[in-house]
Amino acid sequence: MVEEDISAGWLVCVELEGLSSGILLVQAIYPSDQFPGLAGRWLLDCLSRN
């Protein structure tokens, strides 16, 4: 999906400093009266599975 962008130099790998285990903690914050839409729920679901 992004191979062309990587080859063209538009996207690059970023080395993150910090935890050496490769675990990055992510928190999602949204208003309690506005649950995320379909894309937001999909993203939260993907993040919670990994």
Take residue 34 and report the two structure tokens written for it.
């506005």
Which pLDDT belongs to residue 33? 92
Which pLDDT belongs to residue 50? 59
How many CB atoms sit inside 10 A of residue 44's CB?
Answer: 14
Which pLDDT belongs to residue 27? 83
CB contact at 8 A, 14 and 22: no
Phi, psi (deg, nearest 5) at residue 35: -65, 145
CB contact at 8 A, 1 and 10: no
Token look-up 């999909």 returns: 42
pLDDT in tens, 1-50: 788 888 898 888 777 676 666 677 778 888 889 988 999 888 888 888 75
CB contact at 8 A, 44 and 50: no
